[in-house]
Structures are given as C-alpha cells and as structure tokens.
Amino acid sequence: METNYPSTGTETTGLHRDTSPGTGGAGSTTGMGGKALRMREELSNLKSDLDALMSHASTLNENELREARDRILARVSSMRYAARGFAEQAGRQFSQGRDITADYVRDKPLQSVAIAAGVGLLVGTILRRS
C-alpha cells in the first residue's frame, strides 16, 4: 500500500497510495461510524505522506515533486468530496430525527411534556451534584 517516489539519491519517499474505491475512500465501509473511522485513517495517511514528502523534498527533482504534489492534491480533493457527502448524510439524518420528534410531540403532547420534564429534572440533578 505504499508508493515510492524516486529520489536523486538512494533514498525513497514512502507515500500511501489511495486504494479505496469510489469517492474518497469513505464509501468502502458501511455506516456513519465506519465512514468516520475510514476518513480518520485517510487523514492520518495523508499527514504521513506530507511529512515524508517534506522530509525528502530537497532530494527530489522538479518532475518528481510535481508528480507527488499532484497525487496529494488529488487525494485532498477526493477527501473533500467524501467529507461533503458525509456532512450531507449527517444533515439528512438530523433532519429525519427532528421530523420524527416533531411528529411524536404532535401525536402525544402530554407524554412529550412529561418526558421533557423528566429529562429536565435529571439534568438539573446531575448539574447540581457537579
């Protein structure tokens, strides 16, 4: 899972290659938690790649630097696209939860008031103990 960029000396810069299918690697795991974990891993790999590139930048020629920059920019763009999708999905889930809650409150107003009072009492008790 590493791509070696040739240098002018005997060293090589080990950069991670983006092997995830689809959009930015976030679609390879199901569920929001899995996508968040995958995105964290991708960000960690990108940071490692940037650190490796910076430490070996002085030994690379202009074409090798341009190639490394283009690969990293492509990964950043892919991750940005995946992050937008992640944010849109989270927004849809939030809206769905809000709509379900509003429907419940409309259907059962007295129960909703009792639940809200109970939650308020619980939060007040917890905060008083702190």
Give 77-128 pLDDT, tens digit per residue. 888 988 898 899 999 999 999 999 999 999 999 999 999 999 999 999 999 9
Q: At what angle do helices 109-129 and 62-107 cross, to 10 degrees?
A: 120
Q: What is the pTM of this model?
A: 0.51
Structure tokens at 12: 């090589």
Do residues 1 and 15 make contact, with C-beta atoms less than 8 angstroms apart?
A: no
Residue 11: predicted pLDDT: 38
Give 20-62 pLDDT, tens digit per residue. 444 444 444 456 677 778 888 888 888 888 888 888 888 888 8
